[in-house]
Each structure stands twice: as structure tokens, then as C-alpha cells.
Amino acid sequence: MFGFGPHMIFAIPALLIALTVHEYAHARAAVSLGDPTPRYAGRLTLNPIPHLDPLGLIMLWIAKFGWAKPVPINPYNLSHGRWGLLAVSLAGPGANVLTALIVALLHGILVKMGVRNFELMAVIALTYQYNIILAVFNLIPLPPLDGSQIVSSLLPGRQAEIFDRIAPYSPFILMLLIILPFNIIGTITRPLQNALNTIISALVALIL
């Protein structure tokens, strides 16, 4: 999904920011809703190291897509039942969108100030891009992505149980969608990415 190339020196900090913000938001939401599991697991932190998954990093290097370590939660500890789980699931993508907005505002402020540092602007641009990609990618309704928990939380009990049965097969489905030459993932996610870019651009123009 991301991959490394000549821009790797700028991609690494940008990717760490996007992944860390995403996982921290899940942990913070869960703890706020009564589940101490993320705190006990050491995930209530903005330090990127506890959030990194070695296999996810290897796949990022080899296959150009990867993942962070999912935040452990106990849904039975969450207040408001499945609505609490829905809030925790939405927290990660929501935090990425908010981070993208903040980064876009920072970019606009620096441009107005006449800052033209290439390295800084490259990190800012990639941080924005990765946060948008991560937010939208995680909304795909396949476990272990957040979209699956969102759908499961919204479905009635019996339908949710049936939907959850795809979990053992979803990593293979997801990998197939990613490696197919027809860019199915891009076809699925690009419209929402474009919509978010448009909304954020409008907000930045309104604020600045």
C-alpha cells in the first residue's frame, strides 16, 4: 500500500506519524469508554515503537503494503455496548483525517510565511498523503481493518455473526485485492480519498 523508494528518508517519519496516530486513537477511545486493556498492553502512547508490527514492516518493504500492530481491546468492557465498539473503530480513521487537516493547515501556513524547505515540505506532503490513505484503506469492511468492526457494530446480532465468519479468510481476500493487477483497492478507495481531499482543501481555504 505504501512501499519505499528514493523518497524513503521522507516516507519513514511520515508513515510513523500516520500509523502511530491511528493506533493511539483506538487506544485512547477504548480507555475513555472504560476498557483498560490498551493501557495494560502499553499502547496508550504516541511512541511509535509499541505500535509497530515486525511482519507488517517486512511486508511493507517486500510487497509495498503493510500494517501496524492492532490495539487489543475487550469489547465487553466498553460502555454503550456495540456503539462503544463503533466509536473505537471510527477513532483510528477519524484521527488520520484530523491529522491530515492539521498537516494541510501547517503546509498552508508555511507557504504563506514563504518557507520553501524541500525536506520539510516533503515530509509534510507525505504525512498528509499517508494519513488520507490509511484512513480510507481502513474503512474497507474486511477484518482486521476497522471497516469490518464498523459494519459488524451496525448490523443486527444474527447478521453480525454471519458477517464475522469471513474473518479467517479476509487476510487472503485483502492480499488478493492488493496484488491483483487491476488496482481494485485503488478503484474502491480513490473516490473517498478524492472527496476527503476536496473537503480538506475547502476547509483550509476557509480557515486561511
Distance CA 125, CA 11 (A): 10
* Phi and psi at residue 117, to the nearest 5°: -65, 120
Q: What is the pTM of this model?
A: 0.90
Domain-located, residue 153: yes
* Phi and psi at residue 7, to the nearest 5°: -90, 15
Distance CA 22, CA 31 (A): 15
For residue 23, indicate whether it is catalytic.
yes
- Is it the case that residue 48 has pLDDT exceeding 90? yes
Domain-located, residue 150: yes
Give the model's pLDDT for residue 59: 62
Over range 127-151, report the average pLDDT: 90
Give the model's pLDDT for residue 28: 97
Total count of domains within the chain: 1
- Is it the case that residue 194 has pLDDT exceeding 90? yes
Give the model's pLDDT for residue 1: 55
Q: What domain range is 42 assigned to? A: 8-207
pLDDT category of residue 180 using cuts at 50, 70 and 90? confident
Give the model's pLDDT for residue 62: 58
Catalytic residue among 17, 23, 123, 145: 23
